[in-house]
Amino acid sequence: MKTILMEACGSAHYWARQAERRGHRPVLIPPHAVRRYVLRNKTDRTDTKGLLEAYRNEEVRPVPVKSETQQAVAARHRLRSTWVAARTARLNTVRGLLREFGITIPVGAHHVVPHVLLLVEDAEAAVPGLLRPALADAAKEIRELEGRIRTVERQLEAVAENSLVVDQLRTIPGIGVVTATALVASVGNVARFTSARQFASDLGLTPREDSTALRRRLGGISKRGDSYLRMLLIHGARSVLWHTKRQETVPPDRLREWALQVERKRGHNKAAAAVANKLARIVWAVWRHGNAYVGAPAV
């Protein structure tokens, strides 16, 4: 058996699986860690030396090889994210174009397409006839994108039905099927993280530190790791705050009560980051111990 070093770049997981099938031991090194050891010009020789030096460094943790199922679920998430961004861009474009003619659409994405269709069909609306066909095409495109997004979400629901880990993660406040399946597809085996703080740190949700001697200075979150997972956890944290403030969970448990206290003290955005950090630690505990989340009663 031979050890094969590779950078964790495009198609690396595929070639790592091929190497495993042939009895070898693939090791995927993060590209940003290899780059630190590439001196002077970038060539195949210097890249190889950088890989070897990064592999010798115990602080550099290799990327676990993903299975085909994990990559398939992650690909669904990437497509969904792309379509959501495209839908948002189309909505903003339509709003901006209509605003030039003095037409304002109410806040909320679900208002855009119905209003556009009414304007296109209304002969007395202040929309030039030259623009109406293009607006109708834009509304059709937005609905097609929404259909694709719903299809992917149904596929993720089907994946969640066959996964015990996803069911356990969905018991956590702010963690839905999208976040749970994304975590399982990206993380794979949570046991490789020795603590909940290490897991939250890998997602970039712990503070940046700039310390020296007796002075310790903590800043904002580091924003390292997977930005997509961090975004989902931040959105989940905002959902927890939103529902708790509207007293949809009565009485609030200890997590929600703490979230409201942080928001009153630090503001909404900092509270969302703090709650996302807390959710990441809860995810690690639930996943590591295999138990569903049970909220502690508020004090």
Read off the pLDDT of residues 3-39 as tens digits, 9 standing for 90 and up: 999 999 889 999 999 999 999 999 999 999 999 999 8
Least confidently predicted of 199-213, 229-243, 278-292: 199-213
> For residue 206, is it within any domain?
yes
Average pLDDT value for residue range 87-109: 93
Q: Could you tell me the two tokens for 159?
A: 């994946």
Is 101 part of any domain? yes
Question: Same domain for 13 and 96?
Answer: no
pLDDT of residue 218: 83
DSSP state of 218: E
Kindly report whether the peptide bond that precedes residue 106 is cis, defined as omega within 30 degrees of 0. no
Paired tokens of 207: 């503070």
51 and 36: one domain? yes
Question: C-alpha angle with apex 198: 195 to 203, nearest 5 degrees?
Answer: 135
Both 104 and 185 in one domain: the answer is no
Q: What is the pLDDT of residues 120-145, one digit of tens each?
A: 998 888 889 899 999 999 999 999 99
Residue scoring higher pLDDT (43 or 248): 43
Q: Same domain for 209 and 278?
A: yes
pLDDT value for 135: 94
DSSP codes of every residue in 218-273: EEEE---S-HHHHHHHHHHHHHHHHHHHTT-SSS-BHHHHHHHHHHHHH-HHHHHH
* DSSP classification of residue 110: G
Per the structure, how many domains does the chain have?
Answer: 3
The answer to whether 132 touches 120, Cβ cutoff 8 Å, is: yes
Closest CA to 283 of 144, 180, 189, 132: 180
Give φ, ψ of 15 to 5 degrees: -70, -30
Q: Report the pLDDT averaged over residues 229-235.
A: 96
Backbone dihedral region for residue 259 (phi beyond 0: left; psi -120 to 50: alpha; all else: beta): alpha
Choosing from 161, 185, 206, the residue where a domain stops is 161
**Alpha-carbon gap, residue 195 to 22, rounded angstroms:** 34
Average pLDDT over all residues of the chain? 92
Specify the pLDDT at position 200. Answer: 94
3: three-class secondary structure by DSSP = strand
Element (H, E) at 16: helix 12-21
By residue range, what is the domain housing residue 29? 3-56
Is residue 75 a part of any domain in this protein? yes
3-state SS class at 25: strand
- What's the pLDDT at 213? 84
User: Could you tell me if 127 and 120 are in contact, meaning their C-beta atoms sit under 8 angstroms apart?
Assistant: yes
| Cβ neighbour number for residue 263 with a 10 Å cutoff | 19
